[in-house]
Structure 1
Amino acid sequence: MSNRPIEVLLVEDNPGDARLVRESLAEVRSRRFNLTHVDRLEDAIRRLERDEYDVVLLDLLLQDSQRLGTLMEIHSQAPKVPLSFLPAWQTKLSAFGH
């Protein structure tokens, strides 16, 4: 296993969810992560143009893009980078007391 940190691009517009991801990655003892956080699709595209990432953690419901459009934009910019989708619906439901 490489000692190189895993380069993670987090695309999440909810500060609380971004904090949870950051804290969760910090708890992992077996690997190191370099986390770059952006809150808009436009910023994610810019980052993908200039930097290399091992994985993208993606909220599909962003201020400047929604669902399939978000996925298509990210995939077209970095087709070989694995994507993982963040379960924003859990946050939305908890806001309503469910």
Structure 2
Amino acid sequence: MILADDVLEHKSPKLYYVVFPRVPPTGCEDMHRGVCATDGGRLLKFVDVVANNQQRRNDTIFTYTLTKTEAGRMEWVMDAAAPMTAKERWGLEAPAPVPHEVPM
């Protein structure tokens, strides 16, 4: 992912290249990934849903936050890794029925 810093300033923006976190391959996972801004645009979150339906194991939902290190580099820091069965996922409380698709 390529990010630009200070795009609204009159100077040239600084560009960052940030690699998405990697999930160890198992040969049967189906990955669905997405990035979104939260907290009024102050945070970037990355969500990685690893669906293991072929082996009838739990799916795992990983969440990360983009942070700047002391050295000034940008990197993803894992917030959580939550295993979840299909029954748990489709039973989530929501204002509308949760669609029976892998979240993206």
TM-score by length of 2: 0.24
TM-score by length of 1: 0.25
RCO comparison, higher one (Cα < 8 Å, 6+): 1
**Structure with more helix by fraction:** 1
Structure number, greater radius of gyration: 2
